Amino acid sequence: MPDKIKKFLSSGTLFVWFCGTAVAASLLMVGGVLLLIMINGLGFFWPHALMELTLRDGTRVLGELKGEEVIPHSETPEFPEGKTRVRLKVGNRDLYGLDFRWVDTDQIALADSPKDVAAFERREWGNFYGRIREIAKGEDVVATGNQEGWKALQPLIEWANDLHDEIEHLQRDVIGDINFDIEETRLRIRELELRAQRESPEVAELQAVTRQLEAHYQKHVATLRALSRQLDEYSVLLVETNGREKRLPVGQIVKALRPNDMGLFEKILRYFMNFWSVLSEEPREANTEGGIFPAIFGTVMMVLIMSVAVVPFGVLAAFYLREYARQGLIVRVIRIAVNNLAGVPSIVFGVFGLGFFVYAVGGTIDTLFYPEALPTPTFGTGGILWASFTLALLTVPVVIVSTEEGLSAVPREYREGSLALGATKFESMLRVILPCALPGILTGLILAVARATGEVAPLMLTGVVKLAPALPLDHHFPFLHFERKFMHLGFHIFDVGFQSPNVEAAKPMVYVTTLILVMVVIVLNLSAVAIRNHMRKKFKASAV
C-alpha cells in the first residue's frame, strides 16, 4: 500500500491535478467577475417594463421593478418564510425627493402594467414616470389627453433634440473657435506687454482683432439665446400616477418611451440605441447621467501617449543592460532595482509625478515658455502629458524585463552570423536582433497597457478631473493639447460610485463604465496581440 502511494506521488499526477485546479480557480474568478459586471451592466440599457401598483391605502406607485427581498425577522405563523418587499425605481425626483422606494408586498392590493404609461428621460432631475395631460405652445393648448399628447409629443422631442444639436454645435464648434482665437490673441498681447512693447503697433492691431472677435461672439450668443427661447416654446404637462402635475418644456425631455407597449424587436433596437448613446454622448448632471464618451477618449488617448513614451525608454534600457553593459555586480543590482520598481505602490509614482513632472518640470516650462499665461499655469498643473509620463514610469519595469527576455531568446548563431558577415555590432543589433526581439517588446507593451488602463490613484494627482471642458485632441493647432486635463474611465467609476449624491440611481452607471473599461483593455490588448502575432510569423525564430 505505501508503495502505491509512493509511486503515485513520484509519478507527478498529483502535481498535474494541483496545476489544473489552480488554472480552473483563476478562470472561475475572472469569469465570475466578468459575469457580475455584465449582469449588472448590460441590463442597464434594456427598456424595463413599468409596474403600476395600487396599495391598500388607495395610493398608487408607478415605476420599474428593481428587486425583491425578504424582510429580516418578519416570520409569522402565516408567513413562515417571512414577508417580502419590493424595490421600485419611481423616478420623479423633483416631486418625491428620492428615485427609489420600497413597498411591502402585503400592502399591494393590485399590480398592473398598463400600456399607456411612459418613461420620460429628462435633462435634469432624472426620469419621470407617468402620463401626459396636455401639450401647450405658449398659452395655447395643442393637444390634450394621454393618447393625443403622446402622438403630438414624439415629433416635438425630435425637433427639440435637433435644436439641442444645433445649440451644441454653435457652442462647441463655432463659439469654441472664437474663444480659442480670443485666448490666443490675449496671450499674444500679454507676451508683447511682458517684453515691454506695450506701445507697439502690433498690440493695437491685436486689440482690434479681439474687438472684432468679440463682436462675432456677441452675434452668435444672440442666436444661441434665440434658439434657447425656442426650446421653451412648447411645454408638456405631465401627471404622475397619483395625479400630481408637473409642467416642463419639451426641450427638457431627451426621449420618451412606453416600454409596456413595445415589442421584443423594438426593445432590442432600443437596447442598442441606448448602448450607443452611452458610448457617444457627453455626461450630464455631474456625470450621473448621459454618456461617457470623454472618459473613453481620455483613457485611450492617455494609454497611447504612455505607450509612445514607455517603449523607447524601456527598450533602450534593456538593450544596454543585455547587450552592452558588462555583466557584473552593478548590472545585477540595477536589474534587482528595476524589478523592485514594479512593486512600488502606484500612488507613490503619483506623488513623484506631481512633485517632479507637474511642479518641477511643468513649473519651469511655464516660467520659460508661457510667462504670458501666468499666474494660470499651463504645464505647471496636472495634464494628460504628465499623467501619461507618470504611468510610463510605472510600467517601464515591465517593458524592460520582457524586452530582456526577448533579447535573451535570440539565438547566438544569429549574432555571430551577422558579425561574421561584417556587420558592426550596432548594425547587427538594428537589423537582426531588434526584429527578433520585437515580439518580446510587444509582450511587454501589452502588459504595460493592461496595467496602465486600470490605474487610477496616480492619475488623480497628475491630471484627471471629474469633468473636463474640452477633449485633449481637436482641430486647433497643435491638435494634440498635452497640457489639458482629461477624463478617465477608472476615475469615472470612483467618482460616480463613491462621490455621487444619488448613489442608488448611479449604480448601474458604475457597472456600465466598468464594463466599457474592461472592453477598452481587451480591445487595446487584442490589437497589440494581433501585431505581435504578425511579427512572430515574420521572424519565426524568436521563442518569446
Contacting other proteins (CB under 8 A), which of 155, 326, 501, 540? 501
Nearer to other proteins, 117 or 461 (CB): 461
Contacting other proteins (CB under 8 A), which of 166, 261, 266, 285? 285
Task: Count Cβ atoms within 10 A of the Cβ of residue 366 and give its class: 0-12 exposed, 13-18 middle, 19 or more buried.
Answer: buried
Near other proteins in 167-196, by CB under 8 A: 170-171, 175-176, 178-179, 182-183
SS3 299: helix
Nearer to other proteins, 265 or 477 (CB): 477
Q: What is the DSSP letter of 502?
A: -
CA-to-CA dists, residue 260 to 223, 272, 505, angstroms: 40, 18, 21
Nearer to other proteins, 227 or 409 (CB): 227
Q: Does 364 bind other proteins (CB under 8 A)?
A: no
The residue written with cell numbers 518569446 in the block is 544
Buried (b) or exposed (e) across 175-187, using 16+ Cβ within 10 A? bbebebbbebbee
Q: How far is the CB of 15 from other proteins (least distance, A)?
A: 41
Q: Does 379 bind other proteins (CB under 8 A)?
A: no
Q: How far is the CB of 465 from other proteins (least distance, A)?
A: 6
Q: Does 249 bind other proteins (CB under 8 A)?
A: no
Binding track, positions 35-74, relative to other proteins; x by CB under 8 A = ------------------------------------xxx-
Contacting other proteins (CB under 8 A), which of 68, 94, 116, 165? 94
Q: How many CB atoms lie within 10 A of CB 514?
A: 22
Q: How far is the CB of 365 from other proteins (least distance, A)?
A: 15
Q: Which residues pair with 255 in a beta bridge?
A: 121
Q: Does 360 bind other proteins (CB under 8 A)?
A: no
Cα dihedral: 32, 34, 38, 41 (round 10) = 110
The stretch near other proteins (CB under 8 A) out of 13-21, 87-95, 229-237, 471-479 is 87-95
Q: How many residues bind other proteins (CB under 8 A)?
A: 57
Binding track, positions 286-325, relative to other proteins; x by CB under 8 A = xx--------------------------------------
Q: How far is the CB of 498 from other proteins (least distance, A)?
A: 3
The residue written with cell numbers 496616480 in the block is 458
* Contact yes or no for 325/316 (Cβ under 8 A): no
**Distance separating alpha carbons of residues 102 and 125, to the nearest angstrom:** 20
**Distance separating alpha carbons of residues 444 and 399, to the nearest angstrom:** 4
**Distance separating alpha carbons of residues 368 and 255, to the nearest angstrom:** 51
Cβ neighbours of residue 119 under 8 Å, at least 6 residues apart? 47, 50, 64, 91, 127, 128, 129, 256, 257, 258, 259
**Interface residues toward other proteins, by CB under 8 A:** 71-73, 87, 94-102, 124-125, 170-171, 175-176, 178-179, 182-183, 214, 217-218, 221, 224, 228, 284-287, 375-377, 380-382, 460, 465-470, 485, 494-495, 497-504
